[in-house]
Structure 1
């Protein structure tokens, strides 16, 4: 059973100063063009995240801004008097504000997650040893050595013999306690009694 392959390398996110500059640039261009170039922010976001949702929002933003300009262009005079003109203005300003808010929030969150993923990837690379990639030559093993690279035979390493034999403890005799004085007294009395009886028998 094969395990998981090596983890794909994670690209580091761009510098923070560069990201801030690009965000400010796209927002300023969209506002100064009065929403005419507001779709550029959504195009950059779709290219960065590569999500189908962002591509769909790019198309919706572009359509709303074009429709707003068409409705404003059909307004007679320089001032807005008809409902079509007000609808076009609402579409234009609404799509501009919504695209700016969504662009900033989504791109900041995207690079925030990318920074965490890159930090976790670098930490994992520091902890785990570098494994050879699949398809690259690997170091030969001892069992796969050819006739031109003989493997020296393994010599057994002599084990040091035990220098000291275990010593068996010698039994120590228990200390003899002196006989009590009562035994000596009884023995003396028995001797006297035996002498007395012997004398008594001789006199008889």
Structure 2
């Protein structure tokens, strides 16, 4: 089994002033050469980005410049007055204009992405679709977001019925009345005997 790939370190991009100066120099080379050196801009862009598409455009721009030079070289005289000459001039200036626009846009985009990737590497936050970070995940692709599992709340169970608390046994009321009545009878007998004893003592003393 192969281990996961490690992200390659991203070099710090040049300062903005240096990048602006380089862009001005390479564009000026193409413009002041009247388009004959337009391929120089594409050469620098292909070396910087190392993209196969930019190398293909470098070949196309070089071929267009060579073709325009050939068409102008076969033009008789110093003035352009044939179809081939006009076609060569149109091809030369059209290639120059398209190369300048593409070179500036691609160069700015490249170093902007490199700056984001370097900031992500330095400060630790994930870059947004950076083509400079390599690993097991494809370039510019984010891992699929897995939604959290939907948890069903447990159903609340109804409270179980509590068994009724038995009431304390109560003595029947008639038994209580009978007890009170018996106590009253005993008290009456006691008082009756006590009164009779006092009367007998009183008569005997007399």
Q: Give the TM bin, normalised by the shorter chain.
A: 0.5 to 0.7
- Structure 2 partner of 1:199: 194
SS at match of 2:124: helix
Whole-angstrom distance in 2 between the partners of 1:194 and 1:28? 144
Q: Which has the higher contact order (CA 8 A, sep 6+)?
A: 2
Tell me by how many angstroms 1:50 deviates.
0.7
Q: 1:9 to 1:88 in 2, by over 3 A?
A: same
In the alignment, the residues of structure 1 paired with residue 59 and residue 122 of structure 2 have an alpha-carbon distance, to the nearest angstrom, of 37
Q: Runs of 5+ in structure 1 lacking a partner?
A: 126-185
Counterpart in 1 of 2:118?
118
CA 1:2–1:89: 2 relative to 1, 3 Å: closer
Distance in 1 between the 2:14 and 2:189 partners? 124
Please state how far the C-alpha of 1:40 moved relative to its aligned partner: 0.5
Task: Give me the whole-angstrom Cα distance separating, in 2, the residues matched to 1:36 and 1:98.
Answer: 13
Aligned partner of 1:182 in structure 2 is none
Cα deviation for residue 78 of structure 1 reads 2.8
**Structure 1 residue 87: deviation in Å?**
0.5
Inter-CA distance 53–7: structure 2 relative to 1 (3 Å threshold)? closer
Which residue of structure 2 aligns with residue 144 of structure 1? none
Equivalence for 1:47:
47
How many Å separate the matches in 1 of 2:89 and 2:2?
60
Give the 4+ runs in structure 1 shifted more than 4 A. Answer: 189-195
The equivalent residue for 1:76 is 76
Task: Name the CA distance, whole Å, in 1 between partners of 2:17 and 2:6.
Answer: 32
TM-score (norm 2): 0.62
Alignment RMSD, CA only? Answer: 2.5
Q: Distance in 1 between matches of 2:63 and 2:5?
A: 44
Structure 2 unaligned segments of length 5 or more: list them: 126-179, 201-206
Task: Provide the rounded CA distance (Å) in 2 between the counterparts of 1:193 and 1:77.
Answer: 166
Task: Name the TM-score, length of structure 1 as normaliser.
Answer: 0.62
- Spell out the pairing of 1:25-40 with structure 2 (5 A cutoff): 25-40=25-40
Aligned ranges 1:118-137 → 2 under 5 Å: 118-124=118-124
